[in-house]
Structure 1
Amino acid sequence: MKNKLLALLVMLFISAFSNAQISIYDAVQTGKEITKDEKKPNELPPKFVQTVEFGISLPTEINYDFFDGDYTGKELKRRLSFDLFYNIGYPILKKLTFGAVAGVQHQSQGSITGLKLGVSLRYYLKNYEGVNLYLMTARSIGISSNVKNEAGNGNIRVGLQFPIKELTDFDNFRVVFNIFLDHDSYELKKPLINNEIPDDIIFRKGYGLAIGLQF
């Protein structure tokens, strides 16, 4: 298990810096390895599951669209993204939970900060406290002065989350690790280069890592 997990982490870092790809198969296989010693889902009653996570990611490309006589675009230098998310979910099927998401994300490129509100679906491989594959979508609410609050802009994120340590001094608390792929976008109201009329900025395929607490 440790060897496969280490291999996946190495692939993640290579992907972030060289535009390589991490396959869904690799993530699923790693999740299966981690779940070998977990309890079966029918041994745990359904309950609310909450997580708080801090994440960092690097987009594979950042596209800035604007008007400068004609409608045009420019690919910007890649810079890191930082985020803090809270998620609460409840089982709606045997291994599937539906939840609400709230958080804040900062994009270093463009100095853009936004609040995030959205929903998530998580599929648990064995139990509601273990390894899960998830899909998250969140609406962006710009809190920095250079972005508009336009409908349709926000996050789409897919990832693999798994526990790495039980906190024996705190009941039902565990440290979790998260590997994800993130897509983020904003409508701009201030130019980033000179005196162009800004349109939107899109952060594509941000490969990221997150660590947090599940309770």
Structure 2
Amino acid sequence: MKRFQLLLFLLIAIHSLNSFSQIDFNHAILSGKEISKEDSDDNLSPTIIQTFVIGLSLPQSTKYYFNYGEGVDLKNRLSFDAFYTINYPLLKKLTLGLVVGFQHQSQGSITGMKLGAVLRYYFKNYKSANFYFKATRSLALSKNVQNKVGYGNARAGLEFPVNTIGNLNIVFSVYWDNDSYSLSKPLLDNEIPDEITFHGGYGIGIGIQF
């Protein structure tokens, strides 16, 4: 029964990604509870939880600002990312973690290193589904990006196990993503660049928890 629920959720998630529908956090919470229904409430002693997940997303809109306020909409292109988190319990079922990774935006060929924090709520135990919110700052890896305070990535999503290999949990993630950068070089011609924002991307990821 649980495998059927997971398959059904994956199909809904992929459909939502393709149609770029508005994310509904209430549905994400309800889905997490449903996935975790058969999990036990044990294994909640304080422990370090690590994850490594790779993902891809597509923004709903890409806005490029230049010439002191002028802006245009650019074509939406795929984003690729990889994130490592190390999480430690604050309260029962709630963890706070450190995030490090990178994100590459195909539009503009922009790559940034990410450093920040993640807050997770586990529905049953530390190996069950969890709802998370992540905020990171962007550090330039591309020559056309400059480091400025206030630019980075915000992400909210649902992560849940789909299989176990030895001591590793294989996890799947469905998320909403927002990403922004301060630019140092023009993207179109000889304009004076300001910033680029990738709004409301919907993504999927797969990785391991250990």
TM-score by length of 2: 0.94
Q: Which of these residues, 122, 128, 131, is aligned with residue 130 of structure 1?
A: 128
- Looking at structure 2, the residues matched to 73 and 11 of structure 1 have their Cα atoms a distance apart, in angstroms, of 34
- Looking at structure 2, the residues matched to 9 and 204 of structure 1 have their Cα atoms a distance apart, in angstroms, of 23
- Looking at structure 1, the residues matched to 93 and 111 of structure 2 have their Cα atoms a distance apart, in angstroms, of 34
Change (3 A) 1:196 1:15: farther
* Moved segments of 4+, more than 3 Å: 1-19
* Cα deviation 1:3-49 (Å, max 9, x = unaligned): 554454444444444432231222122211211221204x4421000
Superposition pairs for residues 11-22 of structure 1, below 5 Å? 11-22=12-23
- Looking at structure 2, the residues matched to 14 and 185 of structure 1 have their Cα atoms a distance apart, in angstroms, of 26
Superposition pairs for residues 31-180 of structure 1, below 5 Å? 31-41=32-42, 43-67=43-67, 71-168=69-166, 171=167, 173-180=168-175
Percentage of identical aligned residues? 50
The answer on whether the counterparts of 1:8 and 1:26 sit within 8 Å (CA) in structure 2 is no
Aligned to 2:37, the other structure's residue is in SS state helix
AA paired with 2:95? T
TM-score by length of 1: 0.91
Q: Name whichever of 153-162 and 9-18 sits farther off.
A: 9-18
The answer on whether the counterparts of 1:77 and 1:109 sit within 8 Å (CA) in structure 2 is yes
- In structure 1, stretches of 5+ residues that fail to align are none
Aligned to 2:188, the other structure's residue is in SS state coil
2:31 corresponds to:
30
For the aligned residue pairs, the C-alpha RMSD in angstroms reads 1.6
**CA deviation after TM superposition for structure 1 residue 146, in Å:** 0.3
2:203 corresponds to:
208
**CA deviation after TM superposition for structure 1 residue 153, in Å:** 0.4
The answer on whether the counterparts of 1:176 and 1:211 sit within 8 Å (CA) in structure 2 is yes
- Looking at structure 1, the residues matched to 39 and 201 of structure 2 have their Cα atoms a distance apart, in angstroms, of 30
Aligned to 2:60, the other structure's residue is in SS state strand
AA paired with 1:155? N
Change (3 A) 1:57 1:45: same
- Looking at structure 2, the residues matched to 78 and 9 of structure 1 have their Cα atoms a distance apart, in angstroms, of 23
- In structure 2, stretches of 5+ residues that fail to align are none
The answer on whether the counterparts of 2:44 and 2:93 sit within 8 Å (CA) in structure 1 is no
